[in-house]
C-alpha cells in the first residue's frame, strides 16, 4: 500500500475562480473531515529553504 503524503490531499485548480489559498485551505479541511489525513507538523520555511 502506498504511503500517502501531505501533497496527495491537495487539489488546486489553476483556472478556478476560487483563490488558490482558499482551495488549499478547503483541501486540507476536506481531507481532515474525511479522516483520510491526520494533522501533521510541517517544516518551517527556514528549514525548508536549506
Supply the pLDDT for residue 8.
Answer: 78
CB of 21 closer than 8 Å to CB of 29: no
Report yes or no on whether pTM surpasses 0.75: no
Whether residue 43 is contained in a domain is answered as no
Does residue 45 belong to any structural domain of this protein?
no
12 vs 30, 44, 50, CA distance in Å? 13, 22, 26
Decide if 46 is inside a domain.
no
Residues 7-41: tens digit of each pLDDT: 777 889 999 999 999 999 998 888 878 766 666 67
Domain that includes residue 26, residue range? 1-38
- Domains in the chain, number: 1
Amino acid at each position: 500500500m502506498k504511503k500517502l503524503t501531505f501533497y496527495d490531499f491537495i487539489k488546486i485548480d489553476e483556472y478556478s475562480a476560487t483563490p488558490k489559498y482558499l482551495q488549499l485551505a478547503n483541501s486540507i479541511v476536506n481531507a481532515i473531515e474525511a479522516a483520510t489525513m491526520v494533522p501533521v507538523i510541517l517544516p518551517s520555511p527556514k528549514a525548508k529553504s536549506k
